[in-house]
């Protein structure tokens, strides 16, 4: 693996939602070659074209067959079936890096790929994605949870650094608690902003989201500083 990591990897992306194209763009910026991305809906195709111009849209099996690193960025409830289905068709390849971006799952969900000789990595960026180029700058301030077998943990950490983030090791048995923390912070933030914006709108404040922006950001920063 040392010689493989020394050069460029051929990266294929499964999923063109808000996360996959952004991380793929970051990896491309680090010098890796993008071999293809899967995109089904019109919105996902437009997103892929905007962030990854010139990268071919391919079927999932073709992406896996052509890639040294497969980046899986699909909804949590689709991940297990996707990995198992590709194993059932003999698509995974020995020595291939298989990376998913789910907060909920560790490397256990990648067991079918690992059984075929794949190298499992769970890498979750702790940020909210817009699916636009704005996210690329935000990666520089983002921590990534990395879960992997001990011998290949440095590979996951190196990939995070290449994307501009800060790797934090999360044990397999701690992924459920980690996911709960991420969901709590995300849901609470959204709910509070929506409630406050609604109250301001009731009294005629125009663009309540913009009005609250500085307040919310500074309040959150202060709260986070107190926890450091």
Mean pLDDT split into 10-residue runs, the chain, 228 residues: 58 97 97 96 94 96 97 97 98 97 97 98 96 94 96 97 97 97 90 92 92 84 74
Looking at the fold, whether 199 and 155 belong to one and the same domain comes out as no
pTM, to two decimals:
0.87
Number of domains in the chain: 2
Q: Are residues 87 and 151 in the same domain?
A: yes
207 and 159 within one domain: no
| Domain end among 136, 155, 170 | 170
- CATH number, residue 115: 3.40.50.720
Residue where a domain stops, chosen among 170, 198, 218: 170
Same domain, 165 and 185: no
3-class secondary structure, 119: strand
The pair of three-digit structure tokens given for residue 139, joined into one six-digit string: 């990666």
State how far the Cα of 98 lies from the Cα of 123, in Å rounded to an integer: 10
Clarify whether residues 157 and 184 are in a common domain: no
For residue 34, the surrounding DSSP H or E stretch is strand 33-38
Within 10 Å of residue 135's Cβ, how many Cβ atoms? 22
- Phi/psi region, residue 128 (left: phi>0; alpha: psi -120 to 50; beta: rest), is beta
pLDDT at res. 228 = 62
pLDDT of residue 188: 85
Whether residue 191 sits in one domain with residue 130: no
Residues 210 and 122 grouped into a single domain: no
> Is residue 145 within a helix (H) or strand (E), and if so which, with residue range?
strand 143-147
Among 155, 170, 185, the domain-final residue is 170
80 and 192, same domain (yes or no): no
Structure tokens at 210: 């913009």
Both 6 and 119 in one domain: the answer is: yes
Same domain as 181, residue 161: no
User: Is the domain of 111 the same as that of 138?
Assistant: yes
pLDDT for the residue numbered 152: 96
Whether residues 164 and 181 fall in one domain: no
Cβ(16)–Cβ(44) below 8 Å = yes
| Residues spanned by the domain of 29 | 2-170
Region of 117 (left: φ > 0; alpha: ψ -120 to 50; beta: rest) is left
| 92 in Cβ contact with 64 (< 8 Å) | yes
Q: What pLDDT digit, counting tens, does each position of 68-124 carry? A: 999 999 999 999 999 999 999 999 999 999 999 999 999 999 999 999 999 999 999
Q: Which residues contact 54 (CB under 8 A, 6 or more apart)?
A: none
Spatial separation of the C-alpha atoms in residues 90 and 106, rounded to whole Å: 22
């Amino acid at each position: 693996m040392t010689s493989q990591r020394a050069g460029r990897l051929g990266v294929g992306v499964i999923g063109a939602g808000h996360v996959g194209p952004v991380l793929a763009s970051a990896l491309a910026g680090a010098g890796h070659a993008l071999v293809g991305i899967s995109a089904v809906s019109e919105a996902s195709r437009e997103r892929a074209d905007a962030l990854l111009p010139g990268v071919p849209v391919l079927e999932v099996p073709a992406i896996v067959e052509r890639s040294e690193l497969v980046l899986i960025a699909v909804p949590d409830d689709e991940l297990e079936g996707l990995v198992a289905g590709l194993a059932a068709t003999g698509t995974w390849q020995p020595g291939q890096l298989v990376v998913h971006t789910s907060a909920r799952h560790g490397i256990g969900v990648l067991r079918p790929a690992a059984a075929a000789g794949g190298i499992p990595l769970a890498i979750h960026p702790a940020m909210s994605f817009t699916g636009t180029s704005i996210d690329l700058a935000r990666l520089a301030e983002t921590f990534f949870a990395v879960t992997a077998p001990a011998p290949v943990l440095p590979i996951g950490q190196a990939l995070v650094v290449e994307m501009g983030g800060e790797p934090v090791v999360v044990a397999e048995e701690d992924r459920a608690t980690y996911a709960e923390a991420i969901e709590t912070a995300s849901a609470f933030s959204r709910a509070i902003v929506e409630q406050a914006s609604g109250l301001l709108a009731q009294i005629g404040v125009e663009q309540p989201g913009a009005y609250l922006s500085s307040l919310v950001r500074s309040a959150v920063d202060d709260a986070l500083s107190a926890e450091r």
